[in-house]
Amino acid sequence: MPPPPPPPKGEKLMAPPKPTTGIAAPARIVVSLPADAKLFVDGNATQTTQATRVFASPALEPGKEYYYAFTGEIVRGDQTLRSSKTVTIRAGQEVDVQLDFPATTLAQR
């Protein structure tokens, strides 16, 4: 039987295995924001630049909750807009995060 085809290029990761009792497993986090936005995870800048960014956590202990803070920054005109969300994850879970930015308004005369 031939080997399976290689995964498509990009940031996508395979879904983590479902945890069984007592076995640590990673969580998968899918973040959606404009492609030209900068993304920070727990204050650390990421290198990716797609509109959908996929991350895998380290192996997490089953039965416990973990938290990640996501902050997006985008420049529109002379303004830097920010959007932040803190998400709760558990071992083997997949979480979708949508970072929305407020619409810019023109200064009134």
For the chain, the domain total comes to 1
The first and second tokens of residue 63, run together, are 């039965």
Kindly state whether residue 85 falls inside one of the protein's structural domains: yes
Whether 105 is covered by a domain: the verdict is no
Residue 43 lies in a domain: yes
3-state secondary structure of 19: coil
Is 72 part of a structural domain of the chain? yes
Structure token pair of residue 36: 């030209």
- The per-residue pLDDT for range 56-94, each reduced to its tens digit, is 999 999 999 999 999 999 998 899 999 999 999 999 999
The secondary structure of residue 27, as a DSSP letter, is -
The one-letter code for the residue type at 68 is: Y
Q: What is the C-alpha separation between 16 and 94, in angstroms, rounded?
A: 8
Which residues constitute the domain of residue 83? 28-98
User: What pLDDT was estimated at residue 2?
Assistant: 63
pTM, to two decimals: 0.72
Residue 23 has what pLDDT? 85
Percent helix, strand, coil in the chain, to 5, is: 0, 40, 60
Q: What is the pLDDT of residue 49?
A: 87
pLDDT at residue 35, rounded to an integer? 92
Q: What beta strand segments (E) does 24-65 contain?
A: 28-32, 38-41, 44-45, 52-56
What distances in angstroms separate CA 33 from CA 7, 24, 88, 92, one per listed residue?
23, 29, 19, 23
